[in-house]
């Protein structure tokens, strides 16, 4: 673990690295193999005793993965990190590992669409009950608790409206109840928000996003104390949603510039949000760094920065919004976020195209809603691209 004196960029570069490896490689090697061989019988005994650094089969772990996990744990301030092949694998495997038939789970209503789908439509097949509560309605959260409640899961900030959970108020509800509180912190990253310091038990990230940072890998991670991560890691060995060596290496590579990138994402996000508030045909902007955001005070209290996602609603119909998107010259149309390139998406036609208009509006996905994930380009160039497209 890194010492408390080391800064985030120092840990981003050095934490978890296999220093002085047998090849003398400065970067952690990509151990591209499916299986590991034993020099002799003593090596087998080391494996049986759980000696660190002795591997058997890639589905059970490999050196490049371990290096990435240690780096992520250092950045989050967590005891352990468990890496997965995707963010959804991290969520589904963790819930399966920690829940059993007859248990009850609480989830907020604007959690990631696929997370909600899994909890509401899939866990019920295994006899696990799910209650959906309104985000930031602390009375509703408290009232949803049952004797068999085992997990509460939410996100902060949420997608796409960037709602912010008051983590201090949230964890006070569950203190001493033996309920595991899980927060998906993908949009904030440990640079901007540190849920474990508020008493959250497990933090999840789609490492595809800001951790990887270059739109070239899929990964997910769960971080927390060992007694919770151990059963998750064991379940992962059964379900097999493991991260491969190359993706682990790309994640390590991306993490080395983590703090530098997030600072730029924060700066760009604030500038673009402030521009959009005054832009023509933009009705409303949702960004935690704006005083107009409903959770601005909470965000200011518990966040260091407000991230690179800016959601706004245009005073246009669907065709008008699509016309705006088609006129962008630098910003790419795409559904992800957290990379160095700016990406923009229209949820109504890209993420919720299977829903009727009535179904979308119940979820808050209006015709004019647009989500912009700003990259690390110069802010004035992003603004200019939006201006000419408008």
The reported pTM is 0.93
Question: Residues with catalytic annotation?
Answer: 59, 112, 184, 209
For residue 14, give every residue at least 6 positions away whose Cβ sits within 8 Å of its Cβ, in sequence order, or none. Answer: 2, 6
CATH number at residue 151: 3.40.640.10
Residue 108 in tokens: 């907020």
Domain count, the chain: 2
Q: Are residues 262 and 353 in the same domain?
A: yes
Q: Are residues 97 and 198 in the same domain?
A: yes
Within a domain: residue 38?
A: no
- The CA distance from 299 to 193, in Å, is 9
Contacts of residues 178-183 at CB distance under 8 Å and 24 or more positions apart, as own/partner, are: 179/145, 179/149, 179/150, 179/151, 179/152, 180/98, 180/150, 180/151, 180/152, 180/228, 181/151, 181/152, 182/94, 182/151, 182/152, 182/153, 182/154, 183/153, 183/154, 183/155, 183/156
Q: Are residues 72 and 19 in the same domain?
A: yes
Strands 309-314 and 369-373: antiparallel
Q: Are residues 232 and 343 in the same domain?
A: no
For residue 83, which phi and psi values (nearest 5 degrees)?
-95, 150
Q: Are residues 142 and 91 in the same domain?
A: yes
Domain end residue (candidates: 222, 255, 288): 255
Q: Are residues 92 and 207 in the same domain?
A: yes
CATH number at residue 346: 3.90.1150.10
Q: Are residues 83 and 196 in the same domain?
A: yes
Q: Are residues 127 and 144 in the same domain?
A: yes
Q: In what order do the strands lie in the sheet with 220-224?
A: 80-84, 220-224, 202-206, 180-184, 149-155, 104-108, 129-133
pLDDT tens per residue across all 390 residues of the chain: 444 579 999 999 999 987 777 778 888 889 999 999 998 998 889 888 888 778 899 999 999 999 999 999 999 999 999 999 999 999 999 999 999 999 999 999 989 989 999 999 999 999 999 999 999 999 999 999 999 999 999 999 999 999 999 999 999 999 999 999 999 999 999 999 999 999 999 999 999 999 999 999 999 999 999 999 999 999 999 999 999 999 999 999 999 999 999 999 999 999 999 999 999 999 999 999 999 999 999 999 999 999 999 999 999 999 999 999 999 999 999 999 999 999 999 998 877 766 777 777 777 888 999 999 999 999 999 999 999 999
Within a domain: residue 46?
A: no
Within a domain: residue 41?
A: no
Scan for tokens 């038990």, then name that residue.
201
Within a domain: residue 55?
A: no
Domain end residue (candidates: 198, 223, 255): 255
For residue 376, which phi and psi values (nearest 5 degrees)?
-110, 15
Domain encompassing residue 352: 258-389
Q: Are residues 100 and 156 in the same domain?
A: yes
Domain end residue (candidates: 255, 270, 287): 255
Q: Are residues 145 and 220 in the same domain?
A: yes
The pLDDT tens digits of the residues spanning 237-262 come to: 999 999 999 999 999 999 999 999 99
Question: How many residues make up the chain in this entry?
Answer: 390
């Amino acid at each position: 673990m890194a010492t408390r004196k080391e800064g985030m960029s120092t840990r981003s570069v050095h934490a978890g690295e296999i220093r002085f490896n047998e090849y003398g490689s400065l970067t952690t090697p990509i151990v591209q193999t499916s299986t590991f061989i034993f020099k002799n019988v003593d090596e087998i005994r080391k494996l049986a005793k759980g000696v660190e650094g002795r591997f058997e089969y890639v589905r059970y772990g490999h050196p490049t993965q371990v290096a990435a996990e240690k780096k992520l744990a250092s950045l989050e301030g967590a005891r352990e990190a468990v890496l997965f092949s995707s963010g959804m694998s991290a969520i589904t495997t963790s819930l399966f590992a920690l829940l059993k038939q007859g248990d009850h789970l609480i989830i907020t209503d604007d959690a990631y669409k696929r997370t909600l789908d899994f909890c509401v439509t899939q866990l019920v097949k295994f006899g696990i009950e799910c209650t959906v509560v309104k985000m930031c309605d602390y009375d509703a959260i408290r009232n949803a608790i049952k004797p068999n409640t085992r997990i509460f899961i939410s996100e902060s900030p949420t997608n796409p409206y960037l709602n912010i959970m008051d983590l201090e108020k949230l964890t006070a509800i569950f203190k001493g109840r033996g309920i595991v509180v899980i927060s998906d912190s993908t949009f904030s990253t440990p640079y901007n928000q540190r849920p474990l310091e508020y008493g959250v038990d497990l933090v999840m990230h789609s490492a595809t996003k800001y951790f990887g940072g270059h739109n070239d890998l899929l990964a997910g991670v769960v971080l927390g104390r060992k007694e919770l991560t151990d059963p998750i890691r064991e379940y992962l060995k059964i379900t097999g949603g493991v991260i491969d060596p190359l993706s682990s290496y790309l994640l390590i590579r991306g993490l080395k510039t983590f703090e530098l990138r997030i600072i730029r994402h924060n700066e760009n996000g604030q500038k673009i949000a402030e521009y959009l508030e005054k832009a023509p045909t933009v009705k409303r902007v949702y960004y935690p760094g704006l005083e107009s955001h409903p959770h601005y005070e909470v965000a200011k209290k518990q966040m260091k920065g407000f991230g690179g996602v800016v959601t706004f609603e245009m005073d246009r119909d669907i065709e008008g919004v699509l016309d705006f998107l088609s006129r962008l010259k630098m910003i790419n149309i795409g559904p992800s976020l957290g990379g160095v390139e700016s990406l923009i998406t229209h949820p109504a036609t890209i993420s919720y195209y299977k829903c009727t208009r009535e179904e979308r509006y119940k979820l808050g996905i209006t015709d004019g809603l647009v989500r912009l994930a700003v990259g690390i380009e110069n802010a004035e160039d992003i603004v200019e691209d939006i201006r000419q497209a408008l």
